[in-house]
Amino acid sequence: MLGWLRDTTIAAVYTASTIYQGGIMIQLKSLVAAGALATAALASGMASAADVSQASQTLTFDSGTAYFGHSFTSAAAGDTFADNFSFSGSGVLSSVVSAFTNPSLSDAIQITGFQVINSAGFILSGAKWSEGAFDSWTAASSGSLLNDSYIVKVTGKLLTSAATSYSGSVSVTAVPEPETVAMLVAGLGLIGFAGRRRNKGASKPF
């Protein structure tokens, strides 16, 4: 009698219409079902954030400037990318200006990083000028780039599944050779010397 009361009392905690064992089974099934739904939702969220980075590209310079970009045609909102654009050489990195545009869209791409990295891992990080329908980042170096290999790295996230793109440019100014600098200085000196001689000649009376 007491055992029967114990069983029915415990059963009432889990279910009002079944015996003890059945009540536990129903409760466990409910928990398993809830867990399966949560796992499916998590997996769905993880699957939606795909990596849509493109293969590394090598930049080609024309008159000191190279252009780069990425067009997204089959990506989904939430997808992320980390694109690398490589170049090598030396000179003054006078400007690295990147204009990331979202044609006909209010806000389609969120740029999260813009960097220039050398072979030793030194990073020159860009600064964000604006964000929204027009994302603009820029980076510049006041010093000279050594003869080395460099990577322009752009990271971000898509905010739409519609086709969109970003683009940018890198400008590098060549550093004059020491001999060229010496010739320029010597040339300026000769011009100054010739100017002084003309001035002295002009001051003499006829």
pLDDT tens, residue by residue, 83-110: 999 999 888 887 776 666 665 666 788 8
What percent of the chain is predicted at pLDDT more than 70? 54
Among the ranges given (32-36, 66-70, 149-153), the one the predictor scored with the smallest mean pLDDT: 32-36
Q: Indicate the SS3 state at residue 182.
A: helix
148 pLDDT higher than 60? yes
The separation between CA 172 and the C-alpha centre of its own chain, rounded to angstroms, equals: 20
Query: What tens digit of pLDDT does each residue of 161-178 get?
Result: 888 888 888 988 877 655
Fold of 57-177: Jelly Rolls (2.60.120)
- DSSP-derived pairing of the beta strands 123-125 and 164-173: unpaired
Higher pLDDT, 33 or 62: 62
Note whether 103 and 152 are within 8 A (CB).
no
Mind spelling out the 3-state secondary structure of 96-146?
EEEEEECCCCCCCEEEEEEEEEECCCCEEECEEEECCCEEEEEECCCCEEE
Higher pLDDT, 60 or 188: 60
Average pLDDT over residues 57-73: 93
**Cα 182 from Cα 176, distance rounded (Å):** 10
Q: Would you state the pLDDT for residue 106?
A: 66
Q: How many other C-beta atoms are found inside a 10 Å radius of the C-beta of residue 104? A: 10
> What are the residue ranges of CATH 2.60.120 in the chain?
57-177
Q: Would you state the pLDDT for residue 31?
A: 45
**Cα 130 from Cα 99, distance rounded (Å):** 10
pLDDT band at 142 (very low <50, low <70, confident <90, very high): low
51 pLDDT higher than 70? yes
Among the ranges given (12-16, 146-150, 154-158), the one the predictor scored with the smallest mean pLDDT: 12-16
